[in-house]
Amino acid sequence: MQREGFAEVEDSVRAVLRDILGLSEERAAAFAEDTPLFGALPELDSLAVAGVLTELEDRLGILIEDDEVDGEMLESFGALTRFAADKALG
């Protein structure tokens, strides 16, 4: 996986979380690989998950199948970023 491409995906994931969840720039910028997401961020409920995934599809030009969505991919910022990068960068 190219580091440059991964960094771009990471920036996109951060921006999607900020925009869809209404997080401040500072809060989103503080996300690290091990920052917990689903179950830890009150803004990220099941309805918001759909919005986040749809926006990731749009911004990264990927398709996320329903059977790919699980608690593990939403467990942390790093897990979601790796999932998105795998889809976007192949």
- The string of pLDDT tens digits covering residues 28-62 is 999 999 999 999 999 999 999 999 999 999 999 99
Helix (H, G, I), strand (E, B) or coil at 36: strand
Does 1 score more than 70 pLDDT? no
Whole-prediction pTM: 0.93
CA atoms 21, 26, 32, 35: torsion sign: negative
Helix residue spans in 1-90 (DSSP H): 3-21, 25-29, 46-60, 77-89
